[in-house]
């Protein structure tokens, strides 16, 4: 039994029901575990959809299915299988996705392209169609479940269920946004992260929803890393039922569009942070803020170089203020940098500047900062105005333990 992450929130948040969204769960028995592992979310007619998927060159059939369906802009259901990624499974994997979509489409009387499918778990094992279909039959007959149940069911090595909420005012209408997500390891999204699902009752055109989700993704999901490994299955989908009754948003210039974008970005940031806080074996949540780079994209790459460094991550795990490892990670990033302009801080304490350690700096506040759970590292490249922030966690023996016996 994996222990709950020490960085986990005290409790699952109180998430509101979203009009036009009905989640259910069932047991398909994809693995020999005593838990539900199939999530089925029914969506009302007229639901708009947007999504971002992994940039892995070895994507799962589910990712390819979603990519094909997303341009159509409509959705009637979501199916998430946990315990089997169905990736690297050839034509058998694609046939399983087609069978799932066909079965749900027949149940709802809609097109298979209105059904979105995700799977997560072990790579290389075809998803058993018989178990998937039996699980769906059970889900169709099940009572609606809570968001916490749905969030727990999509997890694999997660140590806690992850969910968040925000809201926005569009005109005089309040719209609600709810999100659930899974992810703990194989986290270095080049698009979005792991499996994440956002539901809102807002009325919004699919093209605008896609634009807004892509914007939110660049600032949140694409700014986290646990272990530098990008999954074959990473998918984030956003569904908008239109049941709130607001004047439909069609353009970023529409009244209320800015408020909805802010709420969506906030929700994505909350979900992204929850994933990092459940990083496999994690004991520290680390924010790395880079400024003074030649461009924002350069700052982003430098920040990820620091965040993905095993030497930096293990130093933080050992509560060691080894700023030399930060210098190393900046230098290897392949981005413009000048050793003699570089400045580094831990928390609020400047530890190095101008290519040297700060003369006479007191390490006591740095040591105290590193004993906490939330760690902040600041780096000024000293070359320009580019800036970026990424979030990661430390690297402990727990990561090895979890992944050494992942398939057993």
Residue 259: give its domain's CATH number. 3.60.70.12
Q: CATH number of the domain that 299 lies in?
A: 3.10.20.340
Q: Binding site for substrate: what residues are annotated? A: 156, 182, 193, 280, 403, 408
304 and 267 within one domain: no
Beta pairing class for 343-346 and 374-380: antiparallel
254 and 106 within one domain: yes
Let me know if residue 82 belongs to a domain: yes
Q: CA 79, 85, 90: angle at the middle one, nearest 5?
A: 105
**pLDDT confidence of residue 191:** 41
CA gap 98, 65 in Å, rounded: 8
Let me know if residue 245 belongs to a domain: yes
Distances (CA, A) of 365 to 50, 283, 319, 348: 45, 19, 12, 9
Give yes or no for a contact between 159 and 184, defined as CB atoms under 8 angstroms apart. yes
**pLDDT confidence of residue 121:** 86
Number of domains making up the chain: 2
303 and 241 within one domain: no
Q: CA 217, 3, 197: angle at the middle one, nearest 5?
A: 25
List phi, psi (to 5°) of 329.
-70, -35
Let me know if residue 13 belongs to a domain: no
30 and 149 within one domain: yes
Let me know if residue 2 belongs to a domain: no
Let me know if residue 92 belongs to a domain: yes
Instruction: Indicate if the alpha-carbon torsion angle 215, 216, 222, 223 is positive or negative.
Output: positive
Strand 374-380: give its sheet, edge to edge: 356-357, 349-353, 343-346, 374-380, 285-293, 386-393
Domain boundary among 226, 243, 277: 277
Give yes or no for a contact between 114 and 42, defined as CB atoms under 8 angstroms apart. no
365 and 273 within one domain: no
Give the bridge partners for 377, in sequence order.
288, 346
Q: Going residue by residue through the chain (408 aa), what tens digit of pLDDT does each one get?
A: 568 999 999 999 999 999 999 999 999 999 989 999 999 999 999 999 999 998 778 889 999 999 999 999 999 999 999 999 998 888 999 999 999 999 999 999 999 999 999 999 888 999 999 999 999 999 999 999 999 999 999 998 899 999 999 999 999 999 999 999 997 655 445 443 479 999 999 999 999 999 999 999 999 998 998 766 556 678 899 999 999 999 999 999 999 999 999 999 999 999 999 999 998 788 999 999 999 999 999 999 999 999 999 999 999 999 998 899 999 999 999 999 999 999 999 999 999 999 899 998 888 999 999 999 999 999 999 999 999 999 999 988 877 776 666 554
Q: Is 401 left (phi over 0), alpha (psi -120 to 50) or beta?
A: alpha
Domain region containing 177: 21-277
272 and 303 within one domain: no
Distances (CA, A) of 258 to 214, 268, 365: 14, 15, 40
**pLDDT confidence of residue 151:** 98
Let me know if residue 299 belongs to a domain: yes
User: What is the DSSP secondary structure assignment for residue 110, as one 8-state letter?
Assistant: S
**pLDDT confidence of residue 2:** 67
Structure tokens, 326: 């930060």
CA dihedral 142, 147, 149, 152 (to 10 degrees): 130
**pLDDT confidence of residue 44:** 98
Let me know if residue 215 belongs to a domain: yes
Let me know if residue 256 belongs to a domain: yes
323 and 206 within one domain: no
Give the bridge partners for 239, in sequence order.
49, 199
Instruction: Let me know if 194 is exposed, middle or buried by CB neighbors in 10 A (0-12, 13-18, 19+).
Output: buried
245 and 103 within one domain: yes
3-state helix, strand, coil in the chain (%, to 5): 35, 25, 40
Give the bridge partners for 122, in sequence order.
84
Catalytic positions: 193
Taking alpha carbons only, the member of 291, 175, 144 closest to residue 244 is 175
Structure tokens, 407: 């398939």
H-state helical runs in 142-246: 147-153, 206-219
**pLDDT confidence of residue 192:** 38
Locate tokens 């007191």: which residue? 362
63 and 39 within one domain: yes
Instruction: Let me know if 200 is exposed, middle or buried by CB neighbors in 10 A (0-12, 13-18, 19+).
Output: buried
196 and 232 within one domain: yes
- What global pTM score does this model have? 0.92
Locate tokens 């055109």: which residue? 205
Query: 88-123: b or e for each residue (b if 16 or more CB lie within 10 Å)?
Result: ebeeebbebbebbbebbbebbebebbbbbbbbbbbb
Domain boundary among 223, 249, 277: 277
309 and 212 within one domain: no
318 and 175 within one domain: no
CA gap 54, 236 in Å, rounded: 9
Domain boundary among 256, 277, 298: 277
């Amino acid at each position: 039994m994996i222990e709950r992450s020490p960085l986990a929130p005290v409790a699952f948040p109180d998430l509101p029901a979203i009009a036009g969204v009905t989640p259910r769960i069932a047991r398909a028995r994809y693995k020999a575990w005593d838990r539900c592992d199939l999530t089925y979310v029914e969506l009302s007619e007229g639901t708009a959809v947007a999504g971002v998927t992994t940039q892995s060159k070895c994507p799962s059939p589910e990712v390819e299915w979603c990519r094909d369906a997303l341009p159509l802009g409509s959705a009637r259901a979501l199916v998430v299988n946990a315990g089997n990624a169905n990736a690297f499974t050839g034509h058998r994997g694609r046939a399983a996705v087609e069978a799932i979509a066909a079965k749900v489409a027949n149940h709802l009387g809609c097109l298979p392209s209105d059904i979105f499918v995700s799977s997560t778990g072990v790579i290389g094992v075809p998803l058993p169609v018989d178990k998937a279909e039996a699980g769906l039959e059970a889900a169709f007959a099940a009572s609606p479940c809570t968001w916490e149940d749905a969030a727990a069911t999509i997890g694999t090595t997660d140590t806690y269920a992850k969910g968040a909420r925000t809201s926005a005012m569009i005109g005089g209408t309040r719209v609600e946004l709810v999100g659930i997500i899974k992810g703990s390891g194989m986290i270095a999204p080049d698009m979005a992260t792991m499996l994440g699902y956002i539901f809102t009752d807002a009325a919004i055109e699919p093209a605008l929803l896609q634009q807004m989700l892509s914007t939110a993704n660049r600032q949140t999901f694409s700014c986290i890393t646990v272990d530098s490994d990008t999954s074959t299955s990473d998918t984030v989908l956003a569904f908008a039922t239109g049941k709130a009754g607001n004047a439909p948003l069609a353009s970023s210039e529409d009244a209320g569009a800015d408020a909805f974008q802010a709420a969506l970005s906030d929700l994505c940031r909350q979900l992204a942070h929850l994933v990092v806080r459940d990083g496999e074996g994690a004991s520290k949540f680390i924010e790395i803020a880079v400024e003074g780079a030649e461009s924002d994209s350069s700052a982003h790459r430098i920040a990820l170089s620091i965040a993905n460094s095993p030497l930096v991550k293990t130093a933080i795990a050992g509560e060691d203020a080894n700023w030399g490892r930060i210098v190393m990670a900046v230098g290897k990033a392949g981005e413009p940098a000048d050793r003699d302009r570089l400045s580094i801080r831990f928390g609020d304490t400047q530890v190095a500047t101008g290519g040297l350690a700060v003369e006479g700096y007191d390490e006591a506040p740095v040591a105290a900062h590193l004993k906490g759970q939330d760690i902040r590292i600041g780096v000024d490249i000293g070359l320009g105005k580019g800036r970026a922030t990424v979030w990661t966690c430390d690297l402990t023996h727990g990561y090895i333990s979890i992944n050494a016996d992942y398939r057993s």
